[in-house]
Chains A and B, each alone.
Chain A
Amino acid sequence: MSPRRIDLAANLAALAAGALLSLMVHLNGELARQGGALFSSWMAHGTGTVAALLVIPLWWKAIQPSDAPRQAIPLWAYFGGFAGAVTVIMTSTAVNSSLALSGTLALGLAGQIVFSLAADRWGLFGIAKRRLRLGDAVALALIIAGSALVIWGSL
C-alpha cells in the first residue's frame, strides 16, 4: 500500500475503533450494573483473553522466532493491560465523586490528549516521534469543541 493509502486506512480504522469503543463501554456498563465495576472489567478481560485465543491462527506466526533482524521487545511493552486495568479502577472511583460521569469523561479525554501530544513530541515508549502539523492542531480543536458540545448538549 502507498503511504497515502495506509494513512487513509488508519484514519478510517481509528474512527471504526472509536465506534467499537462506544459499543464496548455500553456493554461493559450494562454488565457493571449487573455485577459491579470490578466484576465487569474482570469479565471483559477474561472473555477477551478467550476470544483472542480463539483466533490464535491469526497471530501465532507473528510471534515465532524468525531469522529476520528484529528489535528486541522491551519487557514493559507487555504491560499495556496493566495500565488499562488500573484505569478502570481509577475511573470508577472518580465517577462516584462530585465529578460524576460527564466530568470524569471530560477530564479523561483531556488526560488522553495531553499524553498523546507529549508522546508524539518526544516519541515516548518506542513509538516514532512526530511533530504536530497545523492541520492536525485544527482538527484536534474542532473535535474537542464538537465532543464538548455533544457531551454537555446531551445532559
Chain B
Amino acid sequence: MIEAVVLAFVAGGLVGVSRQLNGRLAVSTSALFASFCNHLVGFGLLTAIGLAIGGLLSDGAFSGPWHIYFGGPVGVVFVALSSWIIGQIGATRSTMLIIAGQVLGGVALDWVLTGKPVSIAALCGIILIVAGVIVAQRQRSAG
C-alpha cells in the first residue's frame, strides 16, 4: 500500500517535471517543437519497453472505433499549450488552472457521455473551482 502511495505521488511529480522540461525547450525553440520532441522521445521509450517485456499488441488492439485513436493528436495540442503557458505564468498557476480546466471539462464530458445529472457535492465543487479561477485571474502572475 505504501509503495502504491509513493508511486502515485511521484508519478504526479513527474507530470510536473515533464511540463517543466518541455517548457524549458519551448523557451529556446517553439511550443509545438517541444510537443513533437515530447511525443517522439516517449514513443521511443515505450517502443523499447514494449519490445523488452512484450504484450504491446493484442488481438483487438486495432479494432476499436476510429475516434479512440485520436488521443495522440489531442495530446500534441495539450503539451504545446502547457509548454507555452508555463513560461508565461509559472508552474503553480499553470498546474492549478490546468487542474481546474480538467475537472470542469471532465464533468462536462461525463454529462455529455452518460447524461447522468451532476451531484450536489460535485456542483458545490464546481462553484469552488470557478471561484478559484476568478481569484487567480484577478491576481497578476508574479515575476
Contacts and interface: CB of A to CB of B under 8 A. Distances in A.
Interface of A: 3-4, 6-11, 13-28, 30-31, 34-36, 38-53, 55, 58-59, 62-63, 70-71, 73-74, 76-91, 93-94, 97-99, 103-104, 107-117, 119-120, 124-128, 130-136, 138-154
Contacts of A111: 8-16
B111 to A, nearest CB: 11
- The A interface is mostly helix, strand or loop, or mixed, namely helix
A140 B93 CA distance: 8
Interface string B80-118: 011011111111111111111111111111100100000
10 contacts: A13-B85, A38-B53, A43-B61, A43-B72, A49-B36, A59-B30, A94-B8, A111-B15, A139-B135, A149-B125
A7 B19 contact: no
A79 B21 contact: yes
A52 B35 contact: yes
Interface of B: 1, 3-5, 7-25, 27-30, 32-43, 45-47, 49-50, 53, 55-58, 60-64, 67-79, 81-82, 84-110, 113, 119-122, 124-133, 135-143
A28 B71 contact: yes
